[in-house]
Amino acid sequence: MNIALVTCESLAQYAAPTVEDEDTLLTRYLRAQGHTVAPRVWTNSAVDWASYDKVVVKSPWDYFDRVGDFYAWLDRMDATGIRLLNPAATIRWNADKKYLRAMEQAGVRIVPTHWLPQGSPVVIEELFDILGRDQLVVKPAISGGAKNTFALTRAQTAERLPELAQLVQHEDFLVQPFQPEIQTEGEWSLIYLGGEFSHCVLKTPKSGDFRVQHYLGGGIEAREAPTHLRQAADAIIKQFAQGCLYARVDGVDANGEFLLMELELIEPFLYLASSPGAFARYEAALQRSF
């Protein structure tokens, strides 16, 4: 296969000394299997996307900084008949975390969420009572890499409210109760390749933090997926990730119930190096894709 791995101009800000770059590892593996693989920046207008057998959206990790340009790029791919992995329509749907609202309406148990539409007045104090926590997590509806994501206690509200009010003038935000399971157990990520379960990791934040991203000091541990989490994630994939090369289901185990935090269908780190055979499973899913 002649494969384009869609990426961004710089991955350096997402690097961690303890985790080797997944794009490099995947490229090395696929080339060793006889495939031609080229990293291609999505913002580079000179790329001839039609010259590739497979265009894999792997790491466009700056899309949320220029989401209008990203949507326009997806539109151009559609207009010229370039089929993406994952599909452009799926990526567009998944780019805005309001997809969680649609999933909740379809019966998926998500972390309770309150929405702050762009330009709306920000009244945080009552949300502590509505969401039943003394600590909240605030994040943009279109974001990645924990950008503009922060925890907020009742005592910090007066100090942080002007900042949040300013941010909401420019984009939609959401507010969720802080899930203590993140610090006591961790966040589960179940990875699927070609619609089939591949492997599972448990991510933990560094001491004193709640963000689990490895480039922010978070830990990664390969784990067997608990049966009840696997069943919940399987159902989510079956309903919402049809036709996807890859998918990552992130959530917490709250008193024996899986609560979805995010369904990652755009450009998730897949922790391929954490599971024997994961690169081979990725290649097999790639071979099967349209």
Same domain, 105 and 230: yes
CB contact at 8 A, 269 and 22: yes
| Per-residue pLDDT at 207 | 59
Give me the sign of the Cα torsion angle 173, 174, 177, 181. Answer: negative
Domain count, the chain: 3
**Mean pLDDT calculated for residue range 273-277:** 96
User: pLDDT tens digits, residue range 150-177?
Assistant: 889 999 998 999 999 999 999 999 999 9
Q: Are residues 50 and 149 in the same domain?
A: no
Nearest to 243 by CA among 290, 192, 278: 290
31 vs 84: CA distance, rounded Å: 20
The answer on 133 and 80 residing in a single domain is no
The predicted-structure confidence for 190-213, as pLDDT tens digits, reads as follows 999 999 999 999 998 755 555 545
pLDDT at 273 over 70: yes
**Average pLDDT for residues 182-192, to the nearest whole number?**
93
Mean pLDDT of the chain: 92
Question: Does the residue 53 lie in any domain?
Answer: yes
Q: Phi first, then psi: what are they for 16, rounded to 5°? A: -135, 135
Q: Is the pLDDT of residue 250 over 70?
A: yes
Rounded distance, CA 43 to CA 79, Å?
17
> Is 222 within the bounds of a domain?
yes
Global pTM value: 0.92
Q: Which residues neighbour 212 within 8 Å (Cβ) at sequence distance 6 or greater?
A: 182, 186, 187, 203, 204, 205, 218, 219
Token pair of 169, please? Answer: 């003038």
The residue range of the domain holding 56 is 2-95
Per the CB < 8 A criterion, the answer to whether 252 and 184 are in contact is: no
Residue 108 · residue 122 · CB < 8 Å: no
**CATH number for the domain harbouring residue 169:** 3.30.1490.20
Residue that terminates a domain, selected from 177, 200, 231: 177
Using DSSP bridges, classify how beta strands 173-177 and 257-264 pair: parallel, antiparallel or unpaired: unpaired
User: Chain-centre distance of CA 12, in angstroms?
Assistant: 18
Question: With 90 as the cut, is the pLDDT of residue 271 above it?
Answer: yes
Comparing 78 with 146, the larger pLDDT belongs to: 78
Whether residue 137 sits in one domain with residue 74: no
Q: How distant, in Å, are the alpha carbons of 131, 152, 192, 232, 264 from that of 163?
A: 21, 12, 38, 37, 28
Same domain, 105 and 149: no
In a domain? residue 290: no
Q: What is the largest CA-CA distance in the chain?
A: 59
CATH number at residue 42: 3.40.50
Which of 177, 202, 220 is the endpoint of a domain? 177
- Choose between 15 and 154: higher pLDDT: 154
